[in-house]
Amino acid sequence: MPATWSFDEMKRLTSDLGVLKGKDEGAEPATKDEGRGLYKAIKHENDLLVEQKQKEVEDYKKKSEDKFNDFDKEMNDYQKRIEEWNMGGRQGAEPKKPVKPTLDPVPAKVKVSYLPDDLSGNVDFLHPWGDKWLNPAVLLLMFVAFTAGTILTLRSQDIG
């Protein structure tokens, strides 16, 4: 029994490991994931990655549409200049044909995070009754009780 309470207190004092559940499910908030817990932290991280990739795809789409719109305008201008050149008796240099735009490389796939195979660093072993002040008090009470019991036992052996 003392080992259980001692382990709980040592974990509270020495560890800031995240837990699987978030603080809204009864776990203590961890600093690295703002109290979300491992499951919700991974989901949050994946949501951010997907949102970032969606923005990259939208930017890619807009940039490509702009390129093709510009090419369309250049082609219309080219056709007008060619018509004017043909009607004008083909005097001067022939208008230059616009170069077809090329697409930029497609944005890379989103690389999401997965639940790690080793969850040992994220398991919550805290005693459900323990807290910051109760654990030391219980340990002190046990120490006093066991010390008193030991003294009484040794004293009764000396007397009896």
**Which is higher by pLDDT, 85 or 121?**
85
**Which is higher by pLDDT, 125 or 132?**
132
Percentage of the chain lying above the pLDDT 70 cut:
70
In this predicted structure, which of 50-64, 101-115, 120-134 has the lowest mean pLDDT? 120-134
Q: How far is residue 15's CA from residue 8's CA, in Å, rounded to a whole number?
A: 10
Q: Model's pTM, two decimal places?
A: 0.53
H-helix or E-strand containing 85? helix 38-87
Q: pLDDT tens for residues 49-103?
A: 999 999 999 999 999 999 999 999 999 999 999 988 888 878 888 888 889 988 8
Burial of 81 (0-12, 13-18, 19+ CB in 10 A): middle
> Mean pLDDT of all residues in the chain?
79
Query: Looking at residues 143-155, what average pLDDT do you find?
Result: 93
Tokens of 105: 């490389």
Checking if the pLDDT of 38 tops 80, the result is: no
**Helix 134-159 and helix 2-14, axial crossing angle in degrees, nearest 10:** 140
In this predicted structure, which of 13-22, 57-66, 92-101, 134-143 has the lowest mean pLDDT? 13-22
Tokens of 32: 């690295």
Q: pLDDT tens for residues 72-83?
A: 999 999 999 998
The dihedral built from the CA positions of residue 17, 18, 20 and 25, taken in this order, carries a sign that is positive
Q: How far is residue 145's CA from residue 130's CA, in Å, rounded to a whole number?
A: 19
**Which is higher by pLDDT, 42 or 124?**
42
pLDDT of residue 123: 56
pLDDT of residue 44: 87
Tokens of 4: 């259980």
**Which is higher by pLDDT, 116 or 108?**
108
